[in-house]
């Protein structure tokens, strides 16, 4: 399982390195979560991405777009050519997820805080249509400082959305600082339970077996569910892990050596990235 995580992160890095532009650390934080969702949890049809009874996946922390783009490529929805156009001039895909980029993306989420609202709306619509589909929304722990998030949380409880699962990427860092120093929430579990949600926890948000075991659990009747995933921002590269300074930056020449060693990247692969510029 560790090798899968390393391979996915290597693919993310090589996708972005040519343009030297990406939110690497936020994408590395959710790599295993998004992998397990696409490989083991979500019900969808590669040949018919708009199938009406597909499970919906919304990456509300849209700046972690590399995690979703790479997985769309892994399952065969996003071509290699489009993936390799990431953030390039006249590109097909950009730094924030957008439904115009490729099939398989439900909503644009570059403006943080709105993904859960979209998810609540989709969950209500699926209930009205009597669809068996579920909605999964990944939110960031800094993002949920937004007031609109908590309006959505209240609405999900009011409408008994037991077809809605939120995964909170709790990597303890938001942009350039630590969440404990910002809004100083004592316990996310207590907070969500107070709003009437079922709360589960993934102790190690990089352990694929644990991620699957928790995400495959059913919602309690008439209750939306939040899964608090304890993750490490920048997971997979030692100099990035737990360091707020890596929210938005690419490695310099000296730091590149660490990425290459720890992600098994060859000099030839780096040169190939440069040719895509």
Domains of the chain: 2-275 (3.40.50.970)
Nearest by Cα to 215 from 118, 114, 123, 137? 137
Cα-Cα-Cα-Cα dihedral sign, residues 177, 183, 184, 186: negative
The tens place of each residue's pLDDT in the chain, 277 residues long, gives 789 999 999 999 999 998 877 899 999 999 999 999 999 999 999 999 999 999 999 999 999 999 999 999 999 999 999 998 898 877 778 888 889 878 899 999 978 899 999 999 999 999 999 999 999 999 999 999 999 999 999 999 999 999 999 999 999 998 878 888 888 887 899 999 999 999 999 999 999 999 999 999 999 999 999 999 999 999 999 999 999 999 988 999 999 999 999 999 999 999 988 766 6
Apex 185 CA angle, 182 and 188, nearest 5:
130
What SS3 class is residue 209? helix
Nearest by Cα to 228 from 149, 141, 104, 161? 141
Which residue(s) pair with 138 in the sheet?
59, 167
* Predicted pLDDT at 277: 61
* Predicted pLDDT at 54: 98
Residue 188 and residue 214 in contact, taking contact as beta carbons nearer than 8 Å:
no
Nearest by Cα to 65 from 94, 37, 38? 94
Other CB atoms closer than 10 Å to residue 205's CB: what's the count? 27
* Predicted pLDDT at 24: 95
* Predicted pLDDT at 165: 98
* Predicted pLDDT at 50: 92
**Alpha-helical regions (H) of 114-252:** 115-128, 147-158, 188-194, 208-215
Record the tokens describing residue 226, joined without a space: 């939040």
CA terminus-to-terminus distance, the chain: 32
Which residue(s) pair with 226 in the sheet?
166, 199
The upper half-sphere exposure of residue 276, i.e. CA atoms within 13 Å in the direction of its Cβ, equals: 23
* Predicted pLDDT at 183: 82
The model scores a pTM over 0.85: yes
């Amino acid at each position: 399982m560790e090798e899968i995580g390393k391979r996915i992160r290597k693919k993310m890095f090589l996708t972005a390195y040519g343009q030297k532009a990406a939110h690497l650390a936020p994408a590395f934080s959710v790599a295993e979560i998004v992998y397990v969702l696409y490989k083991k949890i979500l019900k969808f049809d590669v040949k018919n991405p708009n199938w009406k009874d597909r499970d919906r996946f919304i990456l509300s922390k849209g700046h972690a777009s590399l995690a979703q783009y790479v997985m769309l490529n892994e399952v065969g929805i996003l071509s290699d050519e489009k993936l390799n156009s990431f953030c390039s001039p006249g590109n097909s895909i950009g730094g924030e997820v957008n439904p115009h980029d490729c099939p398989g993306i439900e909503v644009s989420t570059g403006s943080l805080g709105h993904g859960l609202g979209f998810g609540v709306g989709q969950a209500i619509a699926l209930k009205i249509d009597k669809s068996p589909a579920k909605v999964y929304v990944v939110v960031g722990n800094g993002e949920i400082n937004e007031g609109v998030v908590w309006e959505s949380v209240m609405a999900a409880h009011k409408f008994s959305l037991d077809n809605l699962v939120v995964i909170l990427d709790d990597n303890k860092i938001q942009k350039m600082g630590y969440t404990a120093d910002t809004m100083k929430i004592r316990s996310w579990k207590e907070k969500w339970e107070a709003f009437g949600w079922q709360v589960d926890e993934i102790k190690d948000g990089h352990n694929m077996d644990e991620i699957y075991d928790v995400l495959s659990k059913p919602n309690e009747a008439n209750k939306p569910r939040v899964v608090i995933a304890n993750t490490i921002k920048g997971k997979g590269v030692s100099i990035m892990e737990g360091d707020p300074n890596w929210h938005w930056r690419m490695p310099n020449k000296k730091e590149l050596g660490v990425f290459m060693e720890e992600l098994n990247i060859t000099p030839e692969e780096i040169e190939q990235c440069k040719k895509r510029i």
